Chain A
């Protein structure tokens, strides 16, 4: 895919050839997909959630398919920040796609330490995972309380000059409260939504399907909820939004732009179609050409409710 002027996007200083990124946890470190997508052409690579120490994740069954979606309870398995910096980053930093690192801490301080370690030229931005539903400490605890969320954002901002993206959890009563809290704390961008907490039961064994009992729901099943939340938050904040949740094809992505997202991320779709990030971008170009729209930004928040 050649660079297309209709798609070039910049949010909070992150320059991207297309506004189609990959969602953390669904695209490994990018290199796993290098045979299927041109990593020089996608919007950005958001790498697997990274923690200070290596984590082995949850035991037992980690995924289950559900109607139009899937549950996962991986539990933040990752090799740790040091291994990422020394072994993985040198292998992927030569690609044109900006690298955004998703970080997860078990304390406010840990987010600061991680942010500082990533304040290096190879990294384009930092995404704060305050919404992982599958770990006991950290993650979602910070994402369901506005004061904790704000504290994490402030700590990260204090420790890095990189743009800070706060990834919001949908597992809250009012996501607008959370969005406003992270905006006020200094977040440069909001990404939303993380997975919805769910579960599945095996009626033969009377046991949960997932090893961790509950897991995060993603895929087309969550798209209506994600869209509604992006639309609500877009009216309430002034910082850009990266919209995600069940985007499988260009038409899904366009809905997110109309709802108010400035960029989108494909997640579960990568598991089904490893070329999804590129295919969605190509589809958006076709749509813009057909609609005679010069640039993707002209769609952002253009939903007509009356």
Chain B
């Protein structure tokens, strides 16, 4: 199925926390094609900002034909997206990139910060009885995601930097113990690069296959501008995060 660039209608754009919002757009053609781990490239239909902004797909409702895009307001681009109101239009290019490999039986999802968003869509496509999630954040206020995962996962583990919720520390603090006591056959991780590198290392030492989802500044999203390429660690050519990824096997990039 071809990729699509089209003006789509905003149904909702609401705050989930002070600086995190959820944009819901009506885009049935993209919703039908999208796979967990893919993203859309949004262009606010006014002159500024000039470039598109890549936003991961947080969930899909195929019946309603909608996409949920959860984003943190960090700069001018996301601020412009945050200004969108219901019934406004936004240009949506996608779905782009390669998503997660779903051929596993007992996956552990690991999300840090905004990396928790695309894992919702992933959990939607996995079996709730055998899927667990480990989520980490700076504090309790950042971890407002539990409700989103109700019915999608079997177990939720939480870490916070300040100990205000769950285990004090980082996801990598808790991970070795989880891998020792549970029988996971796959790890999917999305979050800050340093966290993903740490998770990848622990996964490897426990012999668990691991996929990571990278984030980079990008212009075209189609593999042409080469803004987002990264070195590959498996001896192959440089990887394009937008097109070869954003999801990679950990050993390809770490």
Contacts and interface: CB of A to CB of B under 8 A. Distances in A.
Asked whether A and B interact, the reply is yes
B238 A272 contact: no
Contacts, number: 86
Contacts of A27: 224
Contacts of A40: none
B9 interface: no
A61 interface: yes
B225 A271 contact: yes
A9 interface: no
Contact of B50 (A74, A77, A220): A220
A63 B50 contact: no
B225 A74 contact: yes
A47 B33 CA distance: 30
A161 B227 CA distance: 34
Interface in B49-88: 49-52, 76-77
Interface residues of B, number: 29
A56 B50 contact: no
Contacts of B243: 32
A263 to B, nearest CB: 21
A209 B5 CA distance: 29
A274 B93 contact: yes
Nearest to A65: B51
Contacts of A79: 237
B222 to A, nearest CB: 5
Given A32-B220, A63-B219, A70-B219, A77 B51 contact: no
A270 interface: yes
B217 to A, nearest CB: 5
A56 B238 contact: yes
Interface in B147-174: none
B114 interface: no
Contacts of A295: none
B220 A270 contact: yes
Nearest to A221: B50
A146 interface: no
B227 A219 contact: no
Contacts of A274: 5, 93, 220, 222
B218 interface: yes
B48, B217, B222, most chain A CB atoms within 10 A: B222
A62 interface: yes
Contacts of A272: 43, 50-52
B231 interface: yes
B216 to A, nearest CB: 9
B226 interface: yes
A68 B50 contact: yes
B235 interface: no
Point out which of A26, A63, A74 has the most chain B C-beta atoms below 10 A from its C-beta: A63
A36 B3 contact: yes
**Most A CB within 10 A of own CB, among B50, B52, B93, B238:** B50
Given A25-B225, A56-B231, A62-B226, A70 B50 contact: yes
B223 interface: yes
B49 A65 contact: yes
B23 to A, nearest CB: 19
Nearest to B223: A32
Nearest to B218: A63
A275 B93 CA distance: 11
A273 interface: yes
B77 A57 contact: no
Interface string A251-286: 000000000000000001011111100000000000
A79 B48 CA distance: 34
Contacts of B89: none
B193 to A, nearest CB: 13
Given A65-B49, A70-B51, A77 B2 contact: no
Interface string B230-254: 0100000110000100000000000
A125 to B, nearest CB: 20
Contacts of A35: 2-3
A120 to B, nearest CB: 24
A165 to B, nearest CB: 20
B225 A61 contact: no
A301 interface: no
B103 interface: no
Given A32-B243, A271-B224, 16 more contacts: A26-B225, A36-B5, A57-B229, A57-B238, A63-B217, A63-B218, A65-B76, A67-B48, A68-B47, A70-B51, A219-B50, A268-B50, A271-B52, A272-B43, A274-B5, A274-B220
The 7 closest A-B CB pairs, nearest first, are: A28-B224, A271-B219, A63-B227, A32-B224, A271-B220, A35-B2, A62-B227
26 contacts: A26-B224, A28-B225, A32-B220, A32-B223, A33-B224, A35-B3, A57-B229, A61-B217, A63-B218, A63-B227, A64-B217, A65-B49, A65-B76, A65-B77, A68-B50, A70-B51, A72-B225, A77-B229, A77-B238, A271-B220, A271-B225, A272-B43, A272-B50, A273-B5, A273-B43, A274-B220
